[in-house]
Amino acid sequence: MADAALASDLETTVPSHVPADLVVNSDFYSDPRYQNDPFGVVEGQTTGKRIFYTPNHYMLPGCWVITRAEDIRQVLQNAEVFSSQGGVSFSALIGETWSLLPLELDPPQHAGFRSLLNPLFSPKEVNKLEQPVRDAAVSLIEQFQDKDEIEFVSTFAQPFPVSVFLRLLGFPVSEMQTFLDWEFGLLKSFSLEERKAAAASIVAYLRKAIAERRENPDEGLVSWATHAQVDGRPLKDDEILGICFLLFVAGLDTVASSLGFHYRYLAEHPELQQQLRDDRSLIPAAVEEFMRLYSIVINHRRVAQDTEIAGVQMKAGDWVAVPTFNASLDPEEFDRPLEFVLDRPSNRHVAFSYGPHRCLGSHLARRELVVAMNEIFDRVPPFRMKEGAPFRTVGGAVFGVEELHLVFDR
């Protein structure tokens, strides 16, 4: 009876143009293993169906899932066919219509806003942030460097990148926990009501901050956006909000989520940890390999016109899920893709996405990860997982670590 009910349900939720043999009842949140091994859940996608359709999705009625690097790059590069408009739709949660800028814009409108933001996160500007990033890391490490054990996520992985970005935005670091609660509700909760409440809270906070900085400018990015111009004109109110919302959410989550996976691996591989401690010149390459092994973001696109990819017919209006981890773990792209290979000769991972929407903050993220590893190695002894302690993770739009207990070997 259960199978019959499932079959009936799939008939009503799968579009008629989707072949039955491409339907896989899968999602990115309900499997219990997402609570401790999200990458284990999706490990087989790159060796299974090249493209499949799932009627289950935590925020969409159903979507195609792309599993090969070649096809993922094609989707992310071709904005004319695979549109970013409405791909996140945080505004729709609260009945509004503004877009995350430039994330939810397609060319040619995308170019002006991207050009506006690019200089803020260029290598030259990120170089200027070296000392503030280092100071943020050191101040947190000094709080636990004499302890025997810590819960790493709440002690370092979350507050480190978030404190850096809040200062960039011009927001008080003292309100970090409130911001993190909103971020969890928006990105990690699978309750529609919690997501709506979080979106409404963030928007209300940002609108107030924008209004204050319109009257009293400061050095933060919110103030910059409030007074910026694009194509020779001032930004509209919804454009300012769209930029600020994107900067706010992006700065709260991805680096923090990455750090949890990276340091779990280091805790479980003492030989690698010691190798990096002994030769710090290897750390940048290690960071790139960690980003490949743990690419955590799932992008989404809407099919703008009927098309075919890898022999699969897609119709205008279809949704497409584009997991970065499928590209970064594709065995056609990487030898031994599920292994950490420090001296990998070519590391064309897609952790920072690809194409016109490649991550604006990639240079800052790399700098944060490299600085963190150096400062941690400088100030604390080798660490390992605490035996018997919980390790909690989460699936969804951004895979993340919620709890990681480390013990220091003094």
CA 324 to CA 87: how far, in whole Å?
A: 15
Give the helix ranges, DSSP H, for 56-105. 69-77, 90-93
Q: Summarize pLDDT for 174-223 with one digit per residue, the tens.
A: 999 999 999 889 988 888 899 999 999 999 999 999 999 999 999 999 99
What does the pLDDT read at residue 11?
Answer: 47
Q: Summarize pLDDT for 329-380 with one digit per residue, the tens.
A: 999 999 999 999 999 998 999 999 999 999 999 999 999 999 999 999 999 9
What does the pLDDT read at residue 57?
Answer: 85
What does the pLDDT read at residue 253?
Answer: 87
Torsion of the alpha carbons at 235, 237, 241 and 244, rounded to the nearest 10: 40
CA 105 to CA 114: how far, in whole Å?
A: 10
Q: Is pLDDT above 70 for 323?
A: yes
Q: Is pLDDT above 50 for 10?
A: no
Q: How far is CA 363 from CA 21, 73, 145, 360, in A?
A: 42, 20, 28, 8
* CB 327, CB 69: distance < 8 Å: yes
CA 318 to CA 192: how far, in whole Å?
A: 22
What does the pLDDT read at residue 4?
Answer: 38
Q: Cα 281 vs. chain centroid, distance in angstroms? A: 26
Closest by CA position to 246, among listed 232, 219, 225, 218: 225
Question: Residue 325 is encoded by which pair of tokens?
Answer: 């981890």
Q: Is pLDDT above 50 for 3?
A: no
What does the pLDDT read at residue 354?
Answer: 95
Q: Summarize pLDDT for 273-314 with one digit per residue, the tens.
A: 999 999 999 999 999 999 999 999 999 999 999 999 999 999
Q: How far is CA 287 from CA 7, 255, 281, 367, in A?
A: 44, 12, 11, 10
What does the pLDDT read at residue 190?
Answer: 81
Q: What is the mean pLDDT of residues 243-253?
A: 91
Q: Is pLDDT above 70 for 14?
A: yes
Does CATH place domain 2-408 in 1.10.630.10? yes
What does the pLDDT read at residue 410?
Answer: 84
Give SS3 for 213: helix
Q: Is pLDDT above 60 for 7?
A: no
Q: Residue 58 — very low, low, confident or very high, per pLDDT cuts 50/70/90? A: confident
* Residue 269 one-letter amino acid: H
Strands (E), 194-282: 229-230, 233-234
Considering the chain, what is the average pLDDT of its residues? 94
- Which residues, including other chains, have CB under 8 Å from residue 384's CB and lie 6 or more apart? 267, 268, 270, 406, 407, 409
Helices 270-278, 362-379: crossing angle, 10 deg rounding: 90
Q: What is the mean pLDDT of residues 374-395?
A: 97
Q: Residue 252 — very low, low, confident or very high, per pLDDT cuts 50/70/90? A: confident
Name the strand (E) or helix (H) holding 404: strand 400-408
Q: Is pLDDT above 60 for 2?
A: no
Q: Is the link from the previous residue into 102 a cis peptide, with omega within 30 of 0?
A: yes
Closest by CA position to 106, among listed 351, 355, 361: 355
Q: Where are the domains of the chain?
A: 2-408
Q: What is the mean pLDDT of residues 155-184?
A: 94
Q: Is pLDDT above 60 for 98?
A: yes
Q: What percent of the chain has pLDDT over 90?
A: 88
> Buried (b) or exposed (e) across 307-336, using 16+ Cβ within 10 A?
bebeebebeeebbbbbbbbbbbbbeebbee
Would you give the DSSP letter of residue 113?
Answer: H
Name the strand (E) or helix (H) holding 408: strand 400-408
